[in-house]
Structure 1
Amino acid sequence: MIRFLTTHIPLFRILLGLTALILCIGLALTAFQQRDSNAIQLNPDRWSWAPARSFEDAHPPSEGWQDHVPGTVIPAKAYWIRVPIPRNGWADPQLFVLRVGSIKAYADGAILYDYILKTKQVHTGFHWKMIAVPLPAPDHVDLLVKYAKHSPLAASVVIGNKSSLLNIILINDLDNLILGTLLLFSGIIALGLYATQRDRLYLFFALLAFSGGFAALVRNLLLQVIWDIPQLAYFHDSCLSLATFAFIGVLRHVFPTINRRKISFLLWVMLADTVLTIIAALANPRWYYSFTINSFGPLFAVVFIAVSWTLWTAYRSRKDLESIWLLAGFTSLTVISLIHMYRFILIFHLPEWFNERMLWVHRLPADSLFWGLFLFVVCLIRVIMHRYTGMNRQLTEFNRSLENVVQTRTQQLQERTEQLETAHEQLGASMRENAEALAEAMILEERHRITGSIHDTVGHTLSATIIQLEAAKRLIAKDHDLAEEKLEASQDLVRRGLEDIRQSVRLLRDDASYYDLLGSIGALIREKEHLTGCQVDSQFDLLPLALSTFQKRIVFQTLQEGLSLGIKHGSRKPFHFQFIIRSDMKTLNMQLIHLEEHDYSAKDLGFSLQAIAEQAALIGGVITADDEKTGYVITLLLPLTPAS
């Protein structure tokens, strides 16, 4: 025994806490619920009844009255009830009548109250009528009632001042009102959690809370004071099936691996039972009550066994917070449900000596079943809080690990970025070195070309001059004028050869003036204007200081070759050019525009300009030649970024 208690201490501790909770709430409600002894429950044993021809009778019969015998079936659907009125000095006497549908009230031949029930979908046990009694109070009041079938007299009548009767309603139903409000509020919170988390556990919890809260509120006589809709209480029996369906759904999602097939099967069965119950309620009240009694009872027994076995299995195998709290809540709900069943059903089938020892049960609230549901909901809230806390803890740990990963990755990226920047700088330096080396190679190649050109020019000039001199020598004696022409031709050949040699030598010079780009460009333009008579209009921006020697050579050679091509292919003299250099932080843009008429195209530009374009492409440059409105345009674009 001691070992058993020690093993299950957490479960007993929670059960004790739930008992203390319900006792505290009960004492708190009792503290301000003062019963009013002014109202009196009228005893049906003193009543008498008489059959009515129909519910349209205009006054009570003068004869045919019979004493009422409790439990006797009255052989009429419409009949009169004579209720004696005691003398108690009430200032505002009212009859509070329950469990009747259509009713008329008469006193001393005058009608006091007339109510015709217009729908069969009403629960008369929760729809009361309050009938004002005239003063001075009569000896009796005659009630004309109408029922759908022959049955024992079921009417309940309480007399008292109106304030006393309302106070009784408040005393009896305040707990239901509070519990219903709490359950509905819990359902709304659960729906909010489901909207954000999309966990079906919250959805089933909301269904359980809403079904219990709705039933608690409509099984409440106080609700009629606020909102008089008799059909609401009629549907409260359907909440039994809906609540059971939601309960099974909660169990399936809390313990998804325990008795999964059986619980899933019962879940679908209870869903079908709930749907059929609602359909029967909407179709016919008789079908509704018959189906509820005949189907829900056996199903509930099966569900109770399956749920008990599942919870006990989960508790024995896990013994964690969820299994302990749900088993404690289910145990509390079961005990309170058994008390409720004893009070309203089993009491009529048990021996008298047992009932005498259970009189304390009648001091409990009439709808104690909702207290059991409330305790189970409290336990379920604890389970949801545990899950939510665990989820937040996991999210916190995940965020922490994610932050560590991000920090590590960021550090790696920073290191990689630094490495890439270093490599980029090294690559830029290497490219600049390669460009300089390429420029030196170009210079050397150009020197070889110019040297060969000088050799060819000298050889050609000397050979032609010798031929002209030899011809002049032979013609001096024969034709003096022709000999003189030959000598002049020889002189021109020598002069042109000398000019070509000078130009080649100028290109071979490797001093600072060659790399002074603006000075070299100015000298080139002046020379071309002097030798050919052309006109070059120049527009310069301030050139970047970071231009390399290779870039300067590309600019100079492009201008030199463009002027030579324009002079060679121009259609008329004097030749007119416009030379423009623009630069920004990223690009140098050079344009040479031939403004006069010309007869050449891009195909006539020759291999020399193409060779320069290939050299410019090595450092990201582009040379284009286009025929535009302003003239024939040769354009050079050079990037000025460090990569160049």
Structure 2
Amino acid sequence: MVGGGIRNHLPLLRTLTVLLGFLVLIGWGLGSVGKSDEASGLKSDRWLWAPARSFHDSSPPRGVWLPYPNKSPNLETSSPYWLQIPLDKSSAREPQLLIFNAVALSVYDNQRLLYTYDPQAEHHRLNLFYHWNLVPLPAPIPSEVYVLLDNRDSSRPLPSIHFVGKGDIFTYFIQKDTYAFLLAGLFLFSLFVALGLYFVRRDRLHLYFALLAFCGCYASIARNYLLQVIWDQPWVSFMEHVIFPLGVYGFVNIMIEVFGSAQAGILRAIRWVLLGFVIVTLFSAIFLDMKWFGWLLSYPLLTVFLVTAGVVFHSIWSAYQERQGPESIWMLAGFFIVCTFALIHVLRTYLPMFYVLLERKVPLLFKLPFDVLSISLFLFLICLFRIIIFRFGLINEQLKAFNLSLESNVRKRTEELLERETQLRDANTQLTITMRGTAEAIASSMVLEERHLLTGTIHDTIGHALTATIVQLEAAKRLLKRDPDLALEKLDASQSLVRRGLEEIRNSVRLLRDDSSSYDLQSALKELIRETEQTTGVTIVSRINPLPDSLTTLQKRVLYQALQEGMTNGLKHGGSTRFDFSLTVSGTRLQFRLISDGLTYTPSTFGFGLKAMSERVANLGGHMAVEPGNPGCVLTLTLPFQAHAQPEEVTRG
């Protein structure tokens, strides 16, 4: 908590002093510029007044006129009345009467109508503080004019009438209202800066800052007399009544964004109340009767403003007590300035009769420039700029700390990477040694695999040749005594079979060594079937479909040796005399089927030849099965193949 000593609040007091000094300096400058207003005003001590029957009176009354200094309360209420205003001689070119603070009026030179304005007939709604009427005077200047005034059911202060030349009016307005356009330019610049910050950072504080700058810009443009010279549209200044509650709505949202959820509980509820009040005010300004719209601006608006100001002050003060940082100090100082002069603005604009009474008690209020609210709002925006700069400073400090932390992390990570690189280098060396050993082991395994494959091939080839040779030798043995010539033929056939087996071994070795993909499997199978029939006398029925060109040499060798091994086993172990063989293509798979007669096969552990062949088929992704026949044996193979030929290196891989 903040202590009670004034020393603890010196930063806040110093900020308030600076802001008040700026405000007094600007207000004094504007007051000096507006002094010409007093010089041109007609003195009201010679005026006379008389009540009017209605605003439609066509001539001044002939009855008794009363001195204007003895003002009746009727003059400040809704009853229409006449003013008799004497005019002095003037050397001004194109003399005019400049009349302020009049709702509906008509100006007469005796019975002649010089000027009339009725906002109801024109469908206008007026902000009387910034609306004026310019009445041209005839030449020669009459000694007196009669002004018929009607406040139209509203209590208004007494009118202010000036006797000026037409050319002097523009000089007077430029002198008096240049500051308003200067403020509008500053607010517009702040609006664009806030929108730019919002689109870059998406911080809602900048969005509400832009809303407040927009309200200040619109109010500065609408709160001047020169605007009617440029664009005579009363609705522009009249809608300024809606801008004030919209600005309060933006102000409350700024409080919420600055202080966060800790102080924003009740402010969030007030924010929605204010938004609803803005919508109601906008609707009422367009459609509601002026009497009721004036009541809405006089009492509910004042109540909402006072409640909002109290809650906002409590929230800012609580935040200030929790932490005396630049944010709470500048927000509290800016709030005090803008809230004080906003209250003066509300009393002056929406309760003018009460403000006139207050001016009589506190003459200093009369010396304040009328648009002091825009000045105080601009000072508040300066406070908000100071808070945004402070936040950017905090972000800069955080970025510096993050940068130092990042550099430290990068340095640490670099050291870890260097250490990791050393570990990887050692691991690479060890891996090289391991890979060399693995390569040697793979080479040995490949040698063993190739030997295994070679032995299987030789077994299949020699087994088939020797089986056929044994059959021929046994036949020759039986025929040697009965028919020596036929026995000799059998011996010659045995010799041919041995030679053929030797040639097959050479071909298998050559096939293993060269891995030639040009091997004609279909022709080789037909030749094997023909030789087997000639040498053994068995009957072989075959059906071989056209084979795909994409078969690899290993696949061709497996199929050839499978037929060779199957017929050898059938002759040797089953005593077969007939074989049915088919090799067909089904999709991307080869279907191999060999059926033999003879002894019915009894399932048992595969011998060397079948085991080696089963392993080779499995390595190629296929499946081999040996099943009993009826009678005999059935050997089936299913072998996948690629639909299109692949490069030799891929096939080998």
TM-score with structure 1 setting the length: 0.71
Distance 1:294 1:605, change over 3 A: same
Instruction: Report the number of matched residues.
Output: 568
Query: What are the Cα deviations for residues 478-502 of structure 1, in whole angstroms up to 9, with x where unaligned?
Result: xxxxx42332132112212222034
Residue 287 of structure 1 aligns with which residue? Answer: 292
Match of 1:208 among 207, 212, 223: 212
Measure the CA separation in 2 of the matches of 1:84 and 1:119.
32
Q: Find the residue that maps to 2:332 and give its secondary structure.
A: helix
Partner amino acid, structure 2, of 1:303: T
Say if 2:101 and 2:156, in contact at 8 Å, map to a contact too.
Answer: no
Residue 44 of structure 1 aligns with which residue? Answer: 44
State the Cα distance separating 1:338 from its structure 2 match. Answer: 7.2
Query: What are the Cα deviations for residues 76-111 of structure 1, in whole angstroms up to 9, with x where unaligned?
Result: 844443322221211121111122233333336543
Q: Find the residue that maps to 2:480 and give its secondary structure.
A: helix
Residue 450 of structure 2 aligns with which residue? Answer: 443
State the Cα distance separating 1:374 from its structure 2 match. Answer: 2.0
User: Is 1:473 the counterpart of 2:474 in the alignment?
Assistant: no
State the Cα distance separating 1:297 from its structure 2 match. Answer: 3.2
Distance 1:560 1:317, change over 3 A: closer
Distance 1:53 1:430, change over 3 A: farther
Distance 1:331 1:125, change over 3 A: closer
Q: Find the residue that maps to 1:256 and give its secondary structure.
A: helix
Measure the CA separation in 2 of the matches of 1:468 and 1:149.
146
Say if 1:112 and 1:133, in contact at 8 Å, map to a contact too.
Answer: yes
Say if 2:15 and 2:333, in contact at 8 Å, map to a contact too.
Answer: yes
Measure the CA separation in 2 of the matches of 1:41 and 1:403.
73
Say if 2:191 and 2:210, in contact at 8 Å, map to a contact too.
Answer: yes
Structure 2 unmatched ranges of 5 or more: 531-550, 566-581, 595-609, 623-637
Say if 1:558 and 1:609, in contact at 8 Å, map to a contact too.
Answer: no
Residue 267 of structure 2 aligns with which residue? Answer: 263
State the Cα distance separating 1:413 from its structure 2 match. Answer: 9.2
Measure the CA separation in 1 of the matches of 2:146 and 2:358.
35
Residue 334 of structure 2 aligns with which residue? Answer: 329
State the Cα distance separating 1:60 from its structure 2 match. Answer: 4.5
User: Is 1:348 the counterpart of 2:357 in the alignment?
Assistant: yes
Distance 1:341 1:149, change over 3 A: closer
Structure 1 unmatched ranges of 5 or more: 477-482, 535-553, 569-597, 627-632
Residue 19 of structure 2 aligns with which residue? Answer: 18
Say if 1:624 and 1:636, in contact at 8 Å, map to a contact too.
Answer: no
Match of 1:155 among 155, 159, 162: 159
State the Cα distance separating 1:198 from its structure 2 match. Answer: 4.2
Say if 1:205 and 1:250, in contact at 8 Å, map to a contact too.
Answer: yes
User: Is 1:253 the counterpart of 2:254 in the alignment?
Assistant: no
Q: Find the residue that maps to 1:603 and give its secondary structure.
A: strand
Residue 496 of structure 1 aligns with which residue? Answer: 497
Partner amino acid, structure 2, of 1:138: P
State the Cα distance separating 1:507 from its structure 2 match. Answer: 4.1
Measure the CA separation in 1 of the matches of 2:613 and 2:29.
105
Query: What are the Cα deviations for residues 289-313 of structure 1, in whole angstroms up to 9, with x where unaligned?
Result: 2233222334444433333333233
Measure the CA separation in 2 of the matches of 1:600 and 1:241.
93
Residue 89 of structure 1 aligns with which residue? Answer: 91
Residue 625 of structure 2 aligns with which residue? Answer: none
Say if 1:77 and 1:150, in contact at 8 Å, map to a contact too.
Answer: no
Percent same amino acid among aligned pairs? 25
Match of 2:138 among 134, 138, 141: 134
Q: Find the residue that maps to 1:366 and give its secondary structure.
A: coil
Query: What are the Cα deviations for residues 397-439 of structure 1, in whole angstroms up to 9, with x where unaligned?
Result: 5577678878988998996997899999899878865653443
State the Cα distance separating 1:157 from its structure 2 match. Answer: 1.2
Measure the CA separation in 1 of the matches of 2:208 and 2:333.
19
Measure the CA separation in 2 of the matches of 1:288 and 1:507.
113
Query: What are the Cα deviations for residues 576-621 of structure 1, in whole angstroms up to 9, with x where unaligned?
Result: xxxxxxxxxxxxxxxxxxxxxx974421288898754644579xxx
Distance 1:133 1:400, change over 3 A: farther
Q: Find the residue that maps to 2:205 and give its secondary structure.
A: helix
Query: What are the Cα deviations for residues 531-567 of structure 1, in whole angstroms up to 9, with x where unaligned?
Result: 89x9xxxxxxxxxxxxxxxxxxx96544545678999
Segment drifting more, 424-433 vs 173-182 = 424-433
Match of 2:123 among 81, 94, 119: 119
Say if 2:59 and 2:110, in contact at 8 Å, map to a contact too.
Answer: no
Match of 2:388 among 384, 398, 420: 384
State the Cα distance separating 1:388 from its structure 2 match. Answer: 3.6
Residue 591 of structure 2 aligns with which residue? Answer: 603
Residue 480 of structure 1 aligns with which residue? Answer: none
Say if 1:35 and 1:171, in contact at 8 Å, map to a contact too.
Answer: no
Q: Find the residue that maps to 1:475 and give its secondary structure.
A: coil
User: Is 1:367 the counterpart of 2:396 in the alignment?
Assistant: no
State the Cα distance separating 1:441 from its structure 2 match. Answer: 2.1
Q: For 1:503-582, list aligned pairs within 5 A.
A: 503-504=504-505, 507=508, 515=513, 517=515, 556-560=553-557
